[in-house]
Chain A
Amino acid sequence: KNQVEQSPQSLIILEGKNCTLQCNYTVSPFSNLRWYKQDTGRGPVSLTIMTFSENTKSNGRYTATLDADTKQSSLHITASQLSDSASYICVVSERGSQGNLIFGKGTKLSVKP
């Protein structure tokens, strides 16, 4: 069964600190992996998208990594800001699925002053 598992479920860090969120998936055949940020009461917004051949991609203070062999991804946030408080969702696309993306349950990040 295609699944996406994220850890931790929630995380509290102090402003200015770094953190890393994890994503493991069993989706096969693999097409791409995305990280989304979802603010409370808003729709998800894309941060990065990586295909099989890419193992790292950055978007400002966000850096995603992908190990397609072990089916793991991470999202590293550098020098966190209060505005980083949100849920971060890992999403994997199955090749040939034509649009059925498989979503993780997300990691809820709280950045405290």
Chain B
Amino acid sequence: AQTVTQSQPEMSVQEAETVTLSCTYDTSENNYYLFWYKQPPSRQMILVIRQEAYKQQNATENRFSVNFQKAAKSFSLKISDSQLGDTAMYFCAFIQGAQKLVFGQGTRLTINP
């Protein structure tokens, strides 16, 4: 079975600091995609960053970057220069077969002023 595990239920940092959210996953497949989604209090799930498993280069989107370790099945998210608007639930997710997303339990991130 495909599973996604986020071991940090909550994290809190000061504005402008760097924070890293952890995620591990389990799959026997070789071709898949990994995502980090952000869910603010508005409840709408918003894509933060995406990684294709066959690409060794780590994805980067402005202040957001990932550390993708395929052999270790690890996919962490780094947020640099954190901002108050980054406060949200963050979900790591996995998809294979163009069908369903498998989400982790989420990490509640609070950015303090």
A binds B: no
Residues of B within 8 A of A (CB): none
